[in-house]
Structure 1
Amino acid sequence: MNKNIISFVLSLVPLLCLCLDTDTLTSNITFRDSDTIISGGHVFKLGFFSPVNTTNRYLAVFYNVSEKTTVWIANRDRPLNDSSGTVTFSRNGNLVLTNGRNETLWSTNVTGTYPRNTSAQIQNNGNFVLSDTSTRSIIWESFSHPSDVFLPTMRISDNIYTGHKMVIPAWKNESDPEPGSWIGGLEALNVPQIFIWNNGRPYWRSGPWNGMILSGVPDMYSPYLALFSLWNDTTGTFYMTPHELRFLTRYSLNSTGNIETTMWNNQQRKWDVTWVAVQNECDVYQTCGPFGSCNIRDSPICSCTRGFEPVNNEEWESGNWTSGCARRRQLSCEQSNNTSGNRDGFLRLRFTKVPDFAERFPSSQPDVCRTRCMSNCSCIAYAHDSYIGCMSWSEPLVDFQMFNGVGIDLFLRLEASELDNHSDRMLVIIIPVVVGFAAISFVMIIAWFWNKRKGKRFAKSAIVFKDESEKANVEELPLFSFEILSNATNQFHENHLLGRGGFGFVYKGYLENGKVIAVKRLSTASGQGTEEFMNEVVVISKLQHRNLVRLIGCCVEGEEKMLIYEYMPNKSLDGCLFDPNHLSHKILDWKKRFSIIESIGRGLMYLHKDSILKIIHRDLKPSNVLLDEDWNPKISDFGMARIFGGNEDFDNTSRVVGTYGYMAPEYAMEGRFSEKSDVYSFGVLMLEIISGKKNTHYYNQELSLSLLGCAWKLWNEENCLNFVDQTIESSNFEGEIVRCIHIALLCIQEFPNERPSIQTILSMISREIINLQMPKQPVFAEKWNRSHVGTITTQRSSPVGYPCSNDLTITVLDGR
């Protein structure tokens, strides 16, 4: 009897091992349908699962937090139709999956002279490996046999000599993990790119890898830098792998042929889709045919560039663009059968996803690219990227797309007559000279008369404008006459008035071609004079980004100074957020507000890090954020902005400008500003967007708290939802909202070095950085009152209105 009991206990030992947090299968364990093993960090599990709408069973690796989310499947094309599956080790050390009839459905199938004593482990990165027990060397791994998911530290590869690829095959459909028609992988020949193929035909491509990002993916320019690595070995194999991050993320190719990036939302216990590869028709490979340019912002989306026309007009007009475009005129180089191409030139196309089939030549000098292309008659286009070098094309340009503010400049070769001819160039030179001479003469005459009556004030202004115009390259900026703008705004009628501020008024205008514009007319009584006007022209004329308002032109006649911007139909964020009638609040749900926060952050990221100039805005607030027809935000009003040199991190000013309530403490008190000054303003702006309340108008009488203090108090009490705008349905987004309040509090820390950079903030918002530091109490948590003022007295030069009753003024503050 005792022997029977001992035998029974011993028979349970393998099963007892599985009850522990083990990550390894050994030869003495029979792994059955109901069993699982878990990785050391409790991230991944190995077990059996059934997809939706089916009872078929598969051996798979899946997430511990989401057991329906698989990252690898063993028997993709040979499912179990019941729960009889078992995993054991064969005599030669291979891992084998069998069904109830002892048929082998899957095996690691390692051949050769390998040891029989092996073990299988589920690792914390999701890799399932077969190892030699004695040496711990890996002899087989699931990462070398991918399913539909591309995990951090996993590799896809392409050998440029043999053509052998390691690819990601999608499921046949959501219920069947058998490999379908969609495959994702790396194409490394010439310049490496990521592709999606459908039955072997290209469906989407990422654009060239430039060493940091995939240049044809606009969202990678900011803030998703350095998420991948690419390298090659001596055999000609190129490898790409995602970096290991601090939170759960995966890249998957779904059964409809789209790559998705998803991140685990622990608060809501679900996967959030953060990016998809194919977002519109222009992302589909060769939508517009050879030499066709695709721009999703245009209607129709396909067009032929200068010098080209549709191959088939009837098809083109019907919306079938696959036949593409053809040259109107043959290149001079081809006509003369020589290689000089002296009569050819290049048309610059800015911000593009460069075409496929680029040939690469390493060079850091763009002029080298131009010279090489011009000297080669077969070269029809070239581009230069500081990381890639020269790229050139000798075949018809395919899969060519126009972006907005990001991308690579493409130079397209055209016959000279398709460019500006000699007479046109002469007119371009003569007309500005004549007009400029007449304008200068007129200004000098006016200035002479004005000096007789008013001194030299206007002449000085004209000289300043001339000098600053040269710095800003204003000749590239269209100049509008006062008459045109007066007619466009119906003589600046009040019915066209969009808003007003310390600078003057903004009017809605209609040009003769039907284009709608916004005209910012500086008042002669405004504190903003020639200096601020020219500062805005200098700064914004050099910038182009989807989240910055676009400057169309300017007007300077007499004392009139006007800036012409693209029209934003939904006006300012200020008007929408703080609308007393709450008419916009239903539109501004939490998803829209979150998108606005992230987009403003991207605009700031461009100003601080990605533009050719380093710009500090110095007056970021809701009224300086405009909303387009799709409620996308665009930062405006660069009159107070400052350009930093490459080595500058901060500056001081004796004249503090901006808006009280949005100014960082070191700027308001000491005139010291930097990128972190804008970060402080962004933090205040985030709190206003979340709460729907204006910082400068908020006052809690009972607790004497500012809006910042209220946010701090409720966050400390873990009662953040009471801070949220009552019109927002927040129940499904509680974790995300609390996280945004936390990030905003980090932005408004007293000392600049305690605030994160805008790049870090965007990584926090996107959950690239998952763990956040603890904020300290903001310096302006309490409202000022007489007890704060004490015996302080100041010269009263520029009073600042404030909801609380006090006598405090700031001598150097130019409030707007």
Structure 2
Amino acid sequence: MGNCFGAKLSNSKSSSTYPSFSTRASTIDTSKNYSNGLGYSATSGSIGHSQFSAAASDDTCLNGEILPIANLKIYSFSDMKFSTKNFKSDSVLGIGGFGTVYKGWVDEKTLAPTKAGTGMIVAIKKLNAESTQGFEEWQSEVSFLGRLSHPNLVKLLGYCSEEKELLLVYEFMPKGSLENHLFRRSAAIEPLSWDLRLKIAIGAARGLAFLHTSEKKVIYRDFKASNILLDGNYNAKISDFGLAKLGPSGSNSHVTTRVMGTYGYAAPEYVETGHLYVKSDVYGFGVVLLEMLTGLRALDTKRPNGREKLVEWVKPMLSNKRKLKSIMDARMEGQYSSKAATLAAQITLKCLEGDPKNRPSMKEVTNVLEQIEAIKEKPKESIRKSEHSSSHQNRQSPRSRQSPRQTNDRESPRSRQSPRKPNDHGFSAGSGNIMR
């Protein structure tokens, strides 16, 4: 998990650990019956109807929509206790800066709370009462996810605001986070294949492109592997909108805001000046692409000197085909062609440009990733192995074409050894991160 800078609660990673059903929330208009006692309305707060509208083009919205009002279920605190077995420890899915995420149960059609084991699973994020920025992030989640609808954004189904208790109810994502699949070495988690990584990257890119192409552009601000969640089919969905901001208006190119986010992913211009551009998100996407290509964390203090920061260490190698091969995640060996890897490295480099003006839009990034996915060329090594095997069989004499049993009887102990595993590139993918 990445360490965050700025306010304490910017390290809101609880939603990144919970694992999705596709049922859409039933309707309860938050503008009619939601009040938190603090003078804030989910639909009349900082994001008003006139401010937050979608562009006219269907293509611009990329299969998503911005709802005129938030469409969320409102729960009582007793509902939440019933749904989570009174927040028992065996219901915990994850813990982060915002608070704790619990597994809950609701009715599939009405979304009413149900007894554990009945209906469908949801993820319920409960604000830590000691959080200093918790209400602002909770408010941002309701404001943005309450009105944004897209296949690659996690669905917010409802919320609870009762006295000091603030909770959010999300769809459940059974495959967990991209971070877990990339970096947690466990027998229960299979390494992601090249094809799955591309699928995930494309889904996340579409989600960001949707945010960026609304009329009032949304800057996500905290794009990282732990905030990309996966449903049962490895479809990627962006979660955790606690740091999201509306983009610049009029002739302005950026908004100026307090620097918050996660070290290693935040764009350099934002860290240095507080100037936040739409394309600051593109930089973060480039960092995640680099993690997916290498299988290494953006920041890791366990790596040798000069290699702690992945971008600084690996970025110069992306334009060199020979060096690129040496940094690719060994767990994907033989699954991609040289052409596909080269194109992936090139678009990663463009995303990581120092000047935001030189970075591509997320729509352009999506198009390139889709082109890479369409490449059906076999890896050269696989072709050579296939040709070698065919040639070897054709050259065999009748005597050498004996049955496997006959052949094995004459094998020496040395020849019966198991094949050597592909060499790893020797990089450590530890979990330690550093703060700037």
TM-score category, normalised to shorter length:
0.5 to 0.7
Which amino acid is the alignment partner of residue 141 of structure 2? E
**For the structure 1 residues 651 and 731, does the alpha-carbon distance in structure 2 shift closer, same or farther, using more than 3 Å as the test?**
closer
Partner residue, 1:480: 75
Q: What CA distance in whole angstroms lies between the structure 2 residues aligned with 1:491 and 1:606?
A: 37
Is 1:507 the counterpart of 2:102? The answer is: yes
Partner residue, 1:701: 304
Partner residue, 1:558: 163
> Which residue of 743, 748, 758 corresponds with 2:352?
748
**For the structure 1 residues 716 and 507, does the alpha-carbon distance in structure 2 shift closer, same or farther, using more than 3 Å as the test?**
same
Which amino acid is the alignment partner of residue 357 of structure 2? N
> Which residue of 134, 140, 159 corresponds with 1:529?
134
Shift of 1:733: 2.8
Q: 1:504, 1:523 within 8 Å by CA — same for their partners in 2?
A: yes
> Which residue of 153, 160, 173 corresponds with 1:568?
173
Partner residue, 1:721: 325
Which amino acid is the alignment partner of residue 735 of structure 1? K
Q: 1:600, 1:635 within 8 Å by CA — same for their partners in 2?
A: yes
Q: What CA distance in whole angstroms lies between the structure 2 residues aligned with 1:687 and 1:635?
A: 18
**For the structure 1 residues 647 and 585, does the alpha-carbon distance in structure 2 shift closer, same or farther, using more than 3 Å as the test?**
farther
Which amino acid is the alignment partner of residue 561 of structure 1? L
Partner residue, 2:276: 673
Partner residue, 2:290: 687
Which amino acid is the alignment partner of residue 199 of structure 2? S
3-state secondary structure, aligned to 1:479: strand
Q: What CA distance in whole angstroms lies between the structure 2 residues aligned with 1:529 and 1:693?
A: 30
Partner residue, 2:209: 605
Partner residue, 2:405: none
Question: Where is the helix percentage greater, Structure 1 or Structure 2?
Answer: 2
3-state secondary structure, aligned to 1:640: coil
Q: What CA distance in whole angstroms lies between the structure 1 residues aligned with 2:218 and 2:47?
A: 19
Tell me the alpha carbon deviations over residues 680-722 of structure 1, each in whole angstroms, 9 at most, x when there is no partner. Answer: 0000010111222111226642544621133224334432122
Identity of aligned residues (%): 33
Q: 1:488, 1:509 within 8 Å by CA — same for their partners in 2?
A: yes
Tell me the alpha carbon deviations over residues 486-521 of structure 1, each in whole angstroms, 9 at most, x when there is no partner. Answer: 111111122111112111111111122602111111
In the TM superposition, 1:322-361 aligns within 5 A as none
**For the structure 1 residues 722 and 565, does the alpha-carbon distance in structure 2 shift closer, same or farther, using more than 3 Å as the test?**
same
Runs of 4 or more consecutive aligned structure 1 residues displaced over 6 Å after TM superposition: 472-475
Which amino acid is the alignment partner of residue 94 of structure 2? G
Q: What CA distance in whole angstroms lies between the structure 2 residues aligned with 1:679 and 1:475?
A: 27
Q: What CA distance in whole angstroms lies between the structure 2 residues aligned with 1:492 and 1:745?
A: 45
3-state secondary structure, aligned to 2:139: helix
Where do 5+ consecutive residues of structure 2 fail to align? 1-21, 50-67, 107-113, 375-430
Which amino acid is the alignment partner of residue 535 of structure 1? S
Tell me the alpha carbon deviations over residues 125-183 of structure 1, each in whole angstroms, 9 at most, x when there is no partner. Answer: xxxxxxxxxxxxxxxxxxxxxxxxxxxxxxxxxxxxxxxxxxxxxxxxxxxxxxxxxxx
Higher RCO by CA contacts (8 Å cutoff, separation 6 or greater): 2
Partner residue, 2:195: 591
Shift of 1:764: 2.4
Partner residue, 1:614: 217
Q: What CA distance in whole angstroms lies between the structure 2 residues aligned with 1:509 and 1:639?
A: 21
Q: What CA distance in whole angstroms lies between the structure 2 residues aligned with 1:549 and 1:604?
A: 12
Q: What CA distance in whole angstroms lies between the structure 2 residues aligned with 1:706 and 1:665?
A: 13
Partner residue, 1:633: 236
Q: 2:71, 2:147 within 8 Å by CA — same for their partners in 1?
A: no
Q: What CA distance in whole angstroms lies between the structure 2 residues aligned with 1:506 and 1:558?
A: 19
Count of aligned residue pairs for this structure pair: 324
3-state secondary structure, aligned to 1:766: helix
In the TM superposition, 1:303-314 aligns within 5 A as none
Q: What CA distance in whole angstroms lies between the structure 2 residues aligned with 1:684 and 1:661?
A: 8
Q: 2:248, 2:254 within 8 Å by CA — same for their partners in 1?
A: no
Which amino acid is the alignment partner of residue 632 of structure 1? N
Which amino acid is the alignment partner of residue 750 of structure 1? G
- C-alpha RMSD over aligned residues: 3.1
Q: What CA distance in whole angstroms lies between the structure 1 residues aligned with 2:168 and 2:231?
A: 18
Q: 1:577, 1:584 within 8 Å by CA — same for their partners in 2?
A: no
Question: Where is the strand percentage greater, Structure 1 or Structure 2?
Answer: 1
Tell me the alpha carbon deviations over residues 407-450 of structure 1, each in whole angstroms, 9 at most, x when there is no partner. Answer: xxxxxxxxxxxxxxxxxxxxx99xx98xx5xx97xx8xxxxxxx
In the TM superposition, 1:347-426 aligns within 5 A as none
In the TM superposition, 1:16-27 aligns within 5 A as none
Which range is displaced more, 520-529 or 501-510? 520-529
In the TM superposition, 1:140-179 aligns within 5 A as none
The structure with the largest alpha-carbon Rg is: 1
Q: What CA distance in whole angstroms lies between the structure 2 residues aligned with 1:753 and 1:536?
A: 29
Is 1:463 the counterpart of 2:66? The answer is: no
Shift of 1:641: 0.5
Q: 1:569, 1:627 within 8 Å by CA — same for their partners in 2?
A: yes
Q: What CA distance in whole angstroms lies between the structure 1 residues aligned with 2:305 and 2:135?
A: 46
3-state secondary structure, aligned to 2:296: coil
Tell me the alpha carbon deviations over residues 43-79 of structure 1, each in whole angstroms, 9 at most, x when there is no partner. Answer: xxxxxxxxxxxxxxxxxxxxxxxxxxxxxxxxxxxxx
In the TM superposition, 1:244-283 aligns within 5 A as none
> Which residue of 652, 669, 689 corresponds with 2:255?
652
Which amino acid is the alignment partner of residue 93 of structure 2? L
Where do 5+ consecutive residues of structure 1 fail to align? 1-296, 299-403, 405-427, 444-458, 771-800, 810-816
Q: 1:616, 1:675 within 8 Å by CA — same for their partners in 2?
A: yes
Which amino acid is the alignment partner of residue 691 of structure 1? T
> Which residue of 511, 520, 526 corresponds with 2:125?
520
Q: 2:270, 2:276 within 8 Å by CA — same for their partners in 1?
A: yes
**For the structure 1 residues 732 and 571, does the alpha-carbon distance in structure 2 shift closer, same or farther, using more than 3 Å as the test?**
closer
Which amino acid is the alignment partner of residue 283 of structure 2? Y
TM-score if structure 1 supplies the norm length?
Answer: 0.37
TM-score if structure 2 supplies the norm length?
Answer: 0.67
3-state secondary structure, aligned to 2:147: coil
**For the structure 1 residues 727 and 505, does the alpha-carbon distance in structure 2 shift closer, same or farther, using more than 3 Å as the test?**
same
Is 1:539 the counterpart of 2:115? The answer is: no
Partner residue, 1:219: none
Q: 2:104, 2:122 within 8 Å by CA — same for their partners in 1?
A: yes
Q: What CA distance in whole angstroms lies between the structure 1 residues aligned with 2:363 and 2:175?
A: 28
Which range is displaced more, 473-482 or 670-679? 473-482
Which range is displaced more, 522-531 or 748-757? 522-531
**For the structure 1 residues 579 and 701, does the alpha-carbon distance in structure 2 shift closer, same or farther, using more than 3 Å as the test?**
same
**For the structure 1 residues 503 and 474, does the alpha-carbon distance in structure 2 shift closer, same or farther, using more than 3 Å as the test?**
farther
